[in-house]
Amino acid sequence: MKEGILEKVVRVDQNDSKLAMAHMYVAFLSLLIGAIAGVLQGLSRAGLITLPAGINYYQLLTAHGVLLALVFTTYFIYGFYYAGLSKTMGSFSSQNHKLAWIGFYIMVIGTAVAAAFIILGQANVLYTFYPPLQANPFFYVALAVYVVGNWIGATAMLRHYFEWKKENKGEISPLFGFMVVATMLLWIISTIGLAITIIFQIIPWAFGAGDGINILLSRTLFWYFGHPLVYFWLMPAYVAWYTIIPKVIGGKLFSDSLARLAFILFLLLSFPLGFHHQLMEPGIESFWKFVQVALTFTTVTPSLLTAFSMFATFELAGREKGSRGLFGWVRKLPWGDVRFLAPMLGMLFFIPAGAGGIVNASHQMNAVVHNTLWVVGHFHISVGTTVVLTFFGVAYWLIPHLTGRTLTAKMNKFGVIQTLLWTVGMILMSAGMHILGLMGAPRRTGYTTYGDHPTALEWFTNFFANHVTVSVGGVILFISTVMMVAGFFHLALFAPRQGTATFPISDGSYNGTNIPAFFENWRIWIILAIVLILAGYLIPVIDMVRNAPPGAPPINWVIQQFSMLYLK
Ligand code: HAS
Ligand code: CU
């Protein structure tokens, strides 16, 4: 924490800092609102509070999912990536800068309009918004606008990278930039599927055209996007692990090439896997489910490579500092430094999160856990902890760096407490959710005892896990989130300017710099990814179109409002 004072810090270009900070403001505001919606829906689900008239469980759950899973993550990732690209590959040209700002404003328009419909109760369709649940048509238009804004921002990043490549012919790009390109290509290729279902299926249907929607096709397109989406969240966390953490712990990365290989594997293998979210759906032949499950298991490889890389990095750094024995390196890690502690706890959570993912992907076991709270537990420790704690760890140094402020020892301590609170809250909440899921408690249902059915009552009274302990965990997480948001505003606006916090970026790797040049042959990776997409999806999708089930009529927001009034 003293580096800011001791070293002369080379700051990220001022204009690029402003661009990154604009994204961060939206991210942390959404984090706050999304967390308020989250804690309220959790308490109401447990029967601990009654929601005031005019607000319903699904409205809160939609706000929670959309604001945290889609809005907070995306804006944070864009902000982090703009800053990191500027730091490692030079400041953005004025043209790329303009493009990035245009992308930002379009994203903000999409976000604001979509949020308005959620607040008005006209989009209670949850963050997956699959038909036949139907929102106000303009909610989907807003989503489409949001996607276009994302593409424009991604284009600015890609142009920045390729311009650098042109100016530095024959040179290998910095690891950060390489990883940004892999992520953004994955993001563009996956959001194309989302755009297709929104523009060609959902919007016309929501405006009343045609006779119903092909739900199977729409969900398939959604999950074609939805699985890579989880890697779009994860990859920036890995970027921090590979490029930032080695520097924070005072060592070097184990192997730059291995890190790049992991990212290429994500780009190649992430797409034809969506069926592992649809294993319980009729209408998809089991052969194609088998193909996609098999491919899912191959996508575990880049995460296992990452686990190996991180262990090797920690051990080599520890041994350099004189650690002895098999695990002596553990003691050499800077546990009291929030820039390390938060991502590190994220990594530890990813061990059970990844194991849970493998359970989910196994067809037979999926039958036990699908649509239960187990899945909610899984994604709260993957995206909600591995990714989020890493992002928090990054925020503690990135925000003061971008605003020319200091990360003081006091603020570091605050960060450590906030991180530990998150950890405790999440252990309580996610363990409870996993166990409740195994006990049959469904996800996405408000408070009910199913007419005092004994199984349902058990979900409220079981000693080890019940809805009440889950919401107590949720309240602790909420406190931690409020601390983080307060920390963000402090670091952005009020922290002292006694030297700028460093942007810790690792240079070189223990395994040298012999990086294969063909890694940057993006054309090959894109073509291979498309070949795999066609292999996994072409035949089943043709089948879905040719043998389309009868179109589904909408369960729309007007009907939802009436039925809720009626049920009351
Ligand atoms: Fe998942 C459902 C399968 C990873 C997020 N997942 C979800 C949903 C979300 C989500 C949001 O197959 C719910 C969607 C919805 O609303 O319906 N998931 C997987 C598999 C993986 C996986 C196989 N998921 C993620 C990640 C996510 C995420 C990452 C967000 C960021 N998931 C599924 C399936 C479903 C699913 C099914 C559908 C369930 C259903 O029925 O609905 C794999 O990618 C996991 C591989 C990971 C590992 C772990 C490696 C460990 C590492 C840490 C090392 C630690 C160190 C620290 C170095 C194998 C890298 C050590 C230090 C010391 C000091 C000891
Ligand atoms: Cu998935």
Strands 133-134 and 555-556: parallel
What is the pLDDT at residue 564? 63
Short-list 180, 46, 197, CA closest to 131: 197
Task: Answer positive or negative: Cα dihedral of 97, 102, 106, 111.
Answer: positive
Among protein residues, the one whose CA lies closest to atom 2 of ligand 1: 375
517: DSSP letter = G
* 378 given a catalytic annotation: yes
539 lines ligand 1 (CB under 6 A): no
Structure tokens at 257: 């090439």
Short-list 13, 128, 6, CA closest to 62: 128
Main-chain dihedrals φ then ψ at residue 372, nearest 5 degrees:
-105, 175
CA distances for 390 relative to 281, 344, 419, angstroms = 34, 8, 10
| Cα(182)–Cα(191) distance, integer angstroms | 14
* 444 given a catalytic annotation: yes
What is the pLDDT at residue 64? 98
Q: Is 283 left (phi over 0), alpha (psi -120 to 50) or beta?
A: left
Considering every ligand atom shown, identify the ligand nearest to the alpha carbon of residue 360 and give its number: 1
Among protein residues, the one whose CA lies closest to atom 9 of ligand 1: 379
Q: Which of these is catalytic: 104, 129, 231, 478?
A: 231
What is the pLDDT at residue 189? 98
348 lines ligand 1 (CB under 6 A): yes
In one letter, which amino acid is 500? T
Q: Which of these is catalytic: 380, 405, 434, 467?
A: 380
383 lines ligand 1 (CB under 6 A): yes
* Rounded distance from Cα 439 to ligand 2 centre (Å): 23
Q: Which of these is catalytic: 379, 392, 396, 519?
A: 379
Residue 556 forms beta bridges with which residues?
A: 134
Pocket mutation for ligand 1, best pick of 379, 389, 390, 433 (most atoms within 8 Å of C-beta): 379
What is the pLDDT at residue 2? 45
* 231 given a catalytic annotation: yes
Structure tokens at 342: 């938060």
148 lines ligand 1 (CB under 6 A): no
495: DSSP letter = S
Pocket mutation for ligand 1, best pick of 76, 219, 277, 347 (most atoms within 8 Å of C-beta): 277
* Rounded distance from Cα 34 to ligand 1 centre (Å): 22
| Cα(220)–Cα(541) distance, integer angstroms | 8
* 379 given a catalytic annotation: yes
366 lines ligand 1 (CB under 6 A): yes
Residue 213 forms beta bridges with which residues?
A: 552
| Cα(355)–Cα(131) distance, integer angstroms | 31
pLDDT tens over the chain, length 568 residues: 444 444 578 899 999 999 999 999 999 999 999 999 999 999 999 999 999 988 999 999 999 999 999 999 999 999 999 999 999 999 999 999 999 999 999 999 999 999 999 999 999 999 999 999 999 999 999 999 999 999 999 999 999 999 999 999 989 999 999 999 999 999 999 999 999 999 999 999 999 988 889 999 999 999 999 999 999 999 999 999 999 999 999 999 999 999 999 999 999 999 999 999 999 999 999 999 999 999 999 999 999 999 999 999 999 999 999 999 899 999 999 999 999 999 999 999 999 999 999 999 999 999 999 999 999 999 999 999 999 999 999 999 999 999 999 999 999 999 999 999 999 999 999 999 999 999 999 999 999 999 999 999 999 999 889 999 999 999 999 999 999 999 999 999 999 999 999 999 998 888 877 889 899 999 999 999 999 999 999 999 999 999 998 888 888 766 666 666 665 4
Instruction: Tell the residue number behind the tokens 């989130």, with chain if given.
Output: 481
- Closest atom of ligand 1 to CA, residue 310: 58
Q: Which of these is catalytic: 64, 227, 260, 276?
A: 227
Pocket mutation for ligand 1, best pick of 230, 298, 368 (most atoms within 8 Å of C-beta): 230
- Closest atom of ligand 1 to CA, residue 351: 51
276 lines ligand 1 (CB under 6 A): yes
| Cα(261)–Cα(182) distance, integer angstroms | 11
65 lines ligand 1 (CB under 6 A): no
Q: Containing H/E element for 134?
A: strand 133-134
For 493, other C-beta atoms within 10 Å of its C-beta total: 10
Among protein residues, the one whose CA lies closest to atom 45 of ligand 1: 354
Among protein residues, the one whose CA lies closest to atom 47 of ligand 1: 354
Pocket mutation for ligand 1, best pick of 238, 375, 387 (most atoms within 8 Å of C-beta): 375
Structure tokens at 411: 């603020």
What is the pLDDT at residue 53? 87
Short-list 302, 199, 318, CA closest to 251: 318
Task: Answer positive or negative: Cα dihedral of 57, 61, 64, 67.
Answer: negative
310 lines ligand 1 (CB under 6 A): yes
* Rounded distance from Cα 277 to ligand 2 centre (Å): 6
Length of the chain equals 568
349 lines ligand 1 (CB under 6 A): no
* Rounded distance from Cα 47 to ligand 1 centre (Å): 30
* Rounded distance from Cα 379 to ligand 1 centre (Å): 7
* 160 given a catalytic annotation: no
Short-list 415, 429, 445, CA closest to 45: 445
* Rounded distance from Cα 325 to ligand 1 centre (Å): 32
CA distances for 419 relative to 64, 137, 330, 333, 488, angstroms = 21, 40, 19, 17, 14
481: DSSP letter = H
399 lines ligand 1 (CB under 6 A): no
